[in-house]
Structure 1
């Protein structure tokens, strides 16, 4: 899928500041271009934790967490890199070879401990990613629930999807 084809889904910027969670929507361009997503997150001023959640075409999700030294990334399905530029860009940034066409397994690539300091240990995130019967928005809702911002997340997603 080229960058110019429209991609559906949603992007959410999540901020935890002064013990409170805040979710805001990211532009649709962030779903097809990793640089756009990273740039959009870096523009958000926060003294607390900041990360992004992208649901791309209801096929896979990306978690991104900018830091002064770069960006931590988690791609829920490495095979998505065969069809989506943003997934290929994630693997490229992680310096991971994309899977070949014969690989039909589903596996995550990146930092499973990306949200460990926010209440979601890597083992629990692995369990959520491994729930192949769930759509990415449901997996992201589980992540929001485990970290403690499911109400804010669900309210934003409901607004975005109307």
Structure 2
């Protein structure tokens, strides 16, 4: 099965003239970090764009681009033992290969959204909630950034 078939959704969020915009991305844009970063660079956002990708209700990645800089966060490093995209992210981050007995933990740049309103502590608290699926975790992140309702509409979550 191609990696893009396991993608629950891929989207781009960016601010244009101070207003958040959210756009869906084709699952084919979520096959590796460079392809996703390239797709995100096409958006005209003030200060770059943020990409959210959720895979098979198992894990998610957040990629933020601003000019030539690409910042990446993986919600659960152990996903790299089962999913090619997660393994690609681990490799991109320069981390050692993940072993089956490793503990689930996030990897990468937990500060990538700090200047937008979700700092590393907020992100860690969201990631630590075992009751949430990846799309729900990303909804909490989007809410913290200021576009939770837009996010929920695009991915089909109903507000509680």
Normalised to the residue count of structure 1, the TM-score between the two structures is: 0.89
- Which residue is equivalent to 1:112? 110
For residue 84 of structure 2, what is the aligned residue in structure 1? 85
RMSD, matched Cα? 1.8
The 5 A counterparts of 1:59-98 are 59-98=58-97
Residue aligning to 1:152: 150
SS at match of 2:6: coil
Cα distance in 1 for partners of 2:88, 2:3 equals: 15
Structure 1 residue 3: Cα displacement: 4.3
Where does 1:110-149 land on structure 2 (aligned, <5 Å)? Answer: 110-149=108-147
Provide closer, same or farther for how the CA distance between residues 3 and 150 of structure 1 changes in structure 2, counting only shifts above 3 A: same
Deviation per CA, 1:128-157, whole angstroms, max 9, x where unpaired? 111122100000000011111011111111
TM-score by length of 2: 0.90
1:75-118 residue CA offsets vs partner (Å, 9 max, x unmatched) = 00001111111111111111011221122x21000011110011
CA distance change for structure 1 residues 5 and 141 in 2, over 3 Å: closer, same or farther? Answer: closer
Q: 1:12 and 1:43, CA in 2 relative to 1: closer, same or farther beyond 3 A? A: same
Q: Does 1:30 align with 2:58?
A: no
Greater than 4 Å deviation, 4+ residue runs: 2-5
Q: Which runs of 5 or more structure 1 residues have no equivalent in the other structure?
A: none
Segment drifting more, 83-92 vs 42-51? 42-51
Distance in structure 2 (CA, Å) of the matches to 1:4 and 1:56: 9
In the alignment of these two chains, the number of paired residues is 157
Q: Secondary structure at the match of 1:6?
A: helix
Q: Which runs of 5+ in 2 are unaligned?
A: none
Query: In structure 2, how many angstroms separate the alpha carbons of the residues matched to 1:8 and 1:147?
Result: 23
Verify the 8 A CA contact 1:7 1:32 in the aligned structure 2: no
